[in-house]
Amino acid sequence: MTDTIMHTADRVITATYKRFPVVMERGQACTLWDTRGRRYTDFVSGIAVCNLGHAHPRIAEVVARQAGQLVHVSNLYYTIPQTELARMLVEHSFADRVFFGNSGAEANEAAIKLARKYFKDAGQPERFGIVCMEKSFHGRTMATLSATGQDKIKQGFDPVLEGFSFVPFNDIDALKSAIDDHTCAVMLEPIQGEGGIRCPDPGFLQRVRQLCDQRGLLMILDEIQTGMGRTGTRFAHEQYDVTPDIMTLAKALANGLPIGAMLATERVAAAFGIGAHASTFGGTPLVTAAALETLKIMDEERIVDRARDTGTYFKDALKQLKLRHRCIAEVRGRGLLLGIQLNRPADRLVPVLMDKGFLVNCVQGDTLRFVPPLIIQKDEIDALIHCLDEVLTF
């Protein structure tokens, strides 16, 4: 069966993904099983998506119940799960308003559109430029890849949309120089995930906030990978004492169901009036019910605190590993968004670790990224560390 599934997929699905030769069949907590019965401890979690692990019984129950009650009616009507989720997000964040989409790219598209619309409504249509960071990642749609600071993402899609410029992450002087009379916003990730698990230097995000205030710009924080407790606080920006004007969420918001959200202050969100933006499947009763249950579980089980404590344990173990292996150049990250940069290509280690029963992935060619479910146990971390200790001798 495994070979048949792989051959069929390769024949009928567009070849945009380089897949590993396995067919995943089921999961439970932090473990996945393939169709050959192989077991894997998951340190990818759908790329920082399944924060509560696989097949969480409460989420499965809510999805089944909601699917039997109401799946979709469109945003022409009010629904209870969507309203309750929006209320909960507002009450647990800086924001006053929420727009729902289906993905991180949609959330970032909404943020880009809102920033431009805000200045159009303010009588400043010439202010449409957004300064972004080099090595950033904001999505694969035309606007979000235009905002992404990685050339490889843009290859073959020229011309990209105008209005986006790029400066090095952590370089406040370069940011100051990039801002001009056409700039409306600065858009960045609090911690760059796809960019190699790069954290901001002390004070950098605060200086970005100050600069935005001084120049009358909006600050857009892409928390699609860093939000929902991943870094040890509900949202990563809370650790850096800054408040954005716009924030985007997705990935872990519904623990695997497709959802994106753009959050904004009332002052900024007012630019999105009736008809300004829309999404047919944005915030359906099904997916918002799952997201609402995800938030409830995170609060009741203190998942964010667990992620912070377990992340500290994991990072300390990686630092000890670095002392034993000169091939590790740096250990980076916060909470359970962690990475080790090697002084040589790291991608060759991914299939090696997979063969030994551990799922990890590689970013920027030289960095192994670890984003396990936030419920990962210390003994599972210990097992990965032991395996890394063996394979890092290459």
- Condensed to tens digits (0 to 9), the pLDDT of residues 195-217 reads 999 999 999 999 999 999 999 99
Q: Is 135 a catalytic residue?
A: no
Q: What is the DSSP letter of 257?
A: B
Q: What is the DSSP letter of 6?
A: H
Among 100, 119, 164, 222, the one annotated catalytic: 222
The span from the CA of 93 to the CA of 100, in Å, is: 15
- Condensed to tens digits (0 to 9), the pLDDT of residues 18-60 reads 999 999 999 999 999 999 999 999 999 999 999 999 999 999 9
Q: Is 128 a catalytic residue?
A: no
How do beta strands 337-342 and 358-359 pair?
Answer: unpaired
Among 100, 137, 164, 235, the one annotated catalytic: 137
Q: Is 241 a catalytic residue?
A: no
Cβ neighbours of residue 181 under 8 Å, at least 6 residues apart? Answer: 126, 127
Among 251, 272, 358, 366, the one annotated catalytic: 251
The angle subtended at Cα 194 by Cα 184 and Cα 95, nearest 5°, is 45
Q: Is the CB of residue 188 less than 8 Å from the CB of residue 132?
A: yes
Q: Write down the pLDDT at residue 393.
A: 79
Domains of the chain by range and CATH?
2-55+302-391 (3.90.1150.10), 70-300 (3.40.640.10)
Q: Is the CB of residue 109 less than 8 Å from the CB of residue 144?
A: yes
The span from the CA of 69 to the CA of 109, in Å, is: 31
Q: Write down the pLDDT at residue 394.
A: 58
Q: Which of 239, 238, 235 is nearest to 250 (CA)?
A: 235
Per-residue pLDDT of the chain (394 residues; tens, 9 = 90+): 999 999 999 999 999 999 999 999 999 999 999 999 999 999 999 999 999 999 999 999 999 999 999 999 999 999 999 999 999 999 999 999 999 999 999 999 999 999 999 999 999 999 999 999 999 999 999 999 999 999 999 999 999 999 999 999 999 999 999 999 999 999 999 999 999 999 999 999 999 999 999 999 999 999 999 999 999 999 999 999 999 999 999 999 999 999 999 999 999 999 999 999 999 999 999 999 999 999 999 999 999 999 999 999 999 999 999 999 999 999 999 999 999 999 999 999 999 999 999 999 999 999 999 999 999 999 999 999 999 999 997 5
Cβ neighbours of residue 343 under 8 Å, at least 6 residues apart? Answer: 326, 327, 328, 329, 366
Task: Using the structure block, give the residue that is written with the tokens 């759908």.
Answer: 46
Count of all residues that appear for the chain in the document:
394
User: Which pTM was predicted?
Assistant: 0.97
